[in-house]
């Protein structure tokens, strides 16, 4: 049987992974994960592109994937380097006939895909990139991507009316043995450029390990064991603890869990427990997630520029590093902002309410180049997702898809509304809430 390389990317799962299933049908599948060194370099502001919390989650996710593959008789080949070079070399060494992987949509990722494709061509090795990231399949959109509505509600209505969520794909059964290649060690923190592992702050709202196994367990816990889905709409703007929202984001971002799996479980819950506004709202949020993926597909590199997808070249942005640094460190003097910025720094997580506020404050109150904020989030967030992060920052900064681009959060009002007893601010700043 012919050798097929499967290159795992942000799809670190075996359930509902169409790309992997197709690869395993095509031949002797050899699963590979590459810790791409470019994602561990410093960005233009001096932040490591993948910070310590996300790195920890990723290492755990890769370890879990290897165990799950081993349980099926296969293995995961692990390497550190530049993905296209390593994948092409392995494919050549093992005389593979094709490389399969999940399709990505953004600049850096598609550049890597393109250079891999270029390397494989002279070797006569095929490359198959398969869509696995979203709830609604890209091929099921009823419009060409250029006609993607620019306002979320228009997109949601269109897609809900005309498109069905495809069924999840079964997890493959027993797999072939991986032979004639060193499996390779999962790198340490030091290899990836960190001095030490991050310390877990006991106040964290996200105290979970990475991987498909823990992701599926959290889904089970949130819906079934704790029965929290039925009140999601009421609790989702909370800020303290694990249970005000699903906390599925890091697993979704690395693809440890598929959005269709979440969807199917929500539908089952609606049949077996209750269907209400809350159950719908989790799906509604997953549609937001899709919206930003398709927005990234439509607008390409514009999403990463200060002028945004609106291409607003008139808007001026400040680039005062000292002012920006007070925001990063949580030293602006505004307790609600500072508490949130300390939470992200110490845990890698921040609530959606917090993110909306700190982003609005940076872009609209301080007038700082919002791409700096997005680049800091890229480094700091445990759940960083290129489309969702940059899409939301475009939106909040007023250069994206917000029909009310001048919308500004009045921070004091938000603090009174969402933290009336100052419990959140006290949690992160101590009793002295005037930071
Ligand atoms: C400036 C800014 C940057 C953000 N960056 C990211 C990011 O890098 N990665 C990320 O996953 N989310 C990001 N979000 C969206 C949102 O804040 C997080 O998805 C959410 O807080 C994660 O917690 P949860 O899984 O408990 O969310 P839940 O409330 O339980 O939502 C369930 C899922 O729906 C999706 N979702 C929820 N809110 C949004 C949203 N506003 N936009 C798109 N999808 C959403 C996520 O996949 C989430 O896991 C950002 C929001 C803002 C305002």
Which atom of ligand 1 lies nearest, measured to the CA of 359?
A: 1
Whether 340 and 430 have beta carbons less than 8 Å apart is answered as: no
Q: How many angstroms is it from 150 CA to the middle of ligand 1?
A: 19
Instruction: State the Cα angle at 35 between 12 and 195, rounded to 5°.
Output: 120
Cβ-based neighbour number of residue 325 at 10 Å? 12
Q: In angstroms, what CA-CA distances link 44 with 168, 316, 371, 374?
A: 39, 19, 11, 12
Sequence-distant (≥ 6) Cβ neighbours of residue 303 within 8 angstroms:
106, 295, 296, 309, 387, 390, 391, 394
Residue 353 CA to ligand 1 center (angstroms) comes to 10
Q: What is the pLDDT of residue 435?
A: 46
Q: Which atom of ligand 1 is nearest to the CA of 355?
A: 53
In whole angstroms, what separates CA 137 from the centre of its chain? 17
Sequence-ordered list of residues with C-beta below 8 angstroms from that of 395, at least 6 positions apart, any chain = 401, 402
Residues 392 and 331: their CA atoms lie apart, in Å, by: 23
pLDDT tens sequence for the chain (435 residues)? 899 999 999 999 999 999 999 999 999 999 999 999 999 999 999 999 999 999 999 999 999 999 999 999 999 999 999 999 999 999 999 999 999 999 999 999 999 999 999 999 999 999 999 999 999 999 999 999 999 999 999 999 999 999 999 999 999 999 999 999 999 999 999 999 999 999 999 999 999 999 999 999 999 999 999 999 999 999 999 999 999 999 999 999 999 999 999 999 999 999 999 999 999 999 999 999 999 999 999 999 999 999 999 999 999 999 999 999 999 999 999 999 999 999 999 999 999 999 999 999 999 999 999 999 999 999 999 999 999 999 999 999 999 988 887 888 999 999 999 999 999 999 999 976 654
CA within 13 Å, CB half, 414: 22
Pocket of ligand 1 (CB under 6 A): 236, 245-249, 252-253, 282, 285-286, 288-289, 292, 351-352, 355-356, 359, 377, 381, 383-385, 388-389, 392-393, 396
The residue nearest atom 38 of ligand 1, judged by CA position, is 285
Residue from 187, 171, 18, 1 nearest 100 by CA:
18
Q: What is the pLDDT of residue 180?
A: 94
Judge contact between 415 and 425, C-beta under 8 A.
yes
Nearest 5°: phi and psi at 43? -90, -175
Question: What's the pLDDT at 118?
Answer: 98
pLDDT on residue 402:
80
SS3 track for the chain: CCEEEEEECCCCCCCCCHHHHHHHHHCEEEEEEEEEHHHHCECCCCCECCCHHHHHHHHHHHHHHHHHHHHCCCCCEEEEECHHHHHHHHHHHCCCCEEEEECCCCHHHHHHHHHHHHHHHHHCCEEEEECCCCCCCHHHCCCCHHHCCCCHHHHHHHHHHHCCCCCCCCCCCCCCCCCCCCCCCCCCCCCCCCCCCCCCCCCCCCCCCCCHHHHHHHHHHHHHHCCCHHHHHHHCCCCCCCCCCCCCHHHHHCCCCCHHHHHHHHHHHHHHCCCCHHHHHHHHHHHHHHHHHHHHHHHHHHHHCCCCCCCCCCCCCECCHHHHHHHHHCCCCCHHHHHHHHHHHHHCCCCHHHHHHHHHHHHHHCCECHHHHHHHHHHHCCCCCHHHHHHHHHHHHCCCCCCCCCCCCCHHHHHHHHCCCCHHHHHHHCCCCCC
Distance of CA 289 from the midpoint of ligand 1 (Å): 8
Q: Please give the distance, rounded to the nearest whole angstrom, from the Cα atom of residue 70 to the centre of ligand 1.
A: 32
* Residue linked to tokens 């680039």: 319
For ligand 1, atom 22, name the residue with the nearest CA.
249
- What pLDDT does residue 433 have? 64
Residues 200, 365: Cα–Cα separation, whole Å: 32
């Amino acid at each position: 049987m012919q050798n097929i390389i499967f290159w795992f990317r942000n799809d670190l799962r075996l359930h509902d992974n169409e790309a992997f299933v197709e690869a395993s049908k095509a031949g002797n599948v050899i699963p590979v994960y590459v810790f791409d060194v470019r994602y561990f370099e410093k960005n233009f502001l001096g932040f490591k592109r993948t910070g310590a919390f996300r790195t920890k989650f990723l290492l755990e996710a890769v370890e879990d994937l290897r165990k799950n593959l081993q349980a099926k008789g296969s293995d995961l080949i692990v390497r550190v380097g530049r993905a296209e070079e390593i994948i092409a070399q392995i494919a050549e060494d093992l005389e593979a006939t094709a490389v399969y992987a999940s399709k990505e949509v953004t600049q850096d990722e598609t550049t890597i895909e393109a250079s891999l494709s270029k390397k494989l061509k002279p070797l006569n090795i095929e490359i198959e990139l398969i869509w696995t990231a979203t709830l609604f399949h890209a091929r099921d959109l009823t419009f060409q991507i250029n006609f993607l509505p620019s306002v979320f509600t228009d997109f949601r209505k269109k897609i809900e009316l005309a498109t069905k969520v495809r069924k999840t794909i079964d997890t493959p059964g027993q797999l072939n043995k991986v032979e004639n290649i060193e499996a390779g060690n999962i790198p340490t923190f030091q290899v990836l450029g960190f001095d030490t592992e991050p310390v877990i702050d006991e106040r964290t709202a996200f105290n979970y390990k990475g991987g498909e196994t823990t992701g599926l367990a959290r889904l089970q816990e949130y819906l079934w064991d704790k029965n929290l889905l039925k009140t999601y709409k009421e609790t989702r703007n909370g800020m303290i603890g694990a249970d005000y929202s699903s906390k599925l984001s890091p697993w979704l971002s690395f693809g440890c869990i598929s959005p269709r799996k979440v969807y199917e479980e929500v539908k089952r819950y609606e049949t077996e427990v209750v269907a209400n506004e809350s159950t719908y709202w989790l799906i509604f949020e997953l549609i937001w997630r899709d919206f930003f993926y398709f927005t990234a597909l439509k607008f390409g590199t514009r999403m990463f520029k200060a002028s945004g997808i609106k291409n607003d070249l008139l808007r001026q942005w400040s680039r005062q590093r000292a002012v920006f640094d007070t925001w990063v460190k949580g030293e602006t003097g505004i307790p609600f902002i500072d508490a949130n910025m300390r939470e992200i720094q110490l845990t890698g997580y921040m609530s959606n309410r917090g993110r909306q506020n700190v982003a609005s404050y940076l872009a609209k109150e301080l007038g700082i180049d919002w791409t700096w904020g997005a680049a800091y989030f890229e480094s700091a967030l445990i759940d960083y997702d290129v489309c969702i992060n940059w899409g939301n920052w475009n939106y909040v900064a007023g250069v994206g898809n917000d029909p009310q681009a001048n919308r500004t959060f009045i921070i004091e009002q938000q603090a009174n509304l969402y933290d009336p007893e100052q419990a959140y601010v006290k949690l992160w700043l101590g009793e002295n809430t005037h930071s």
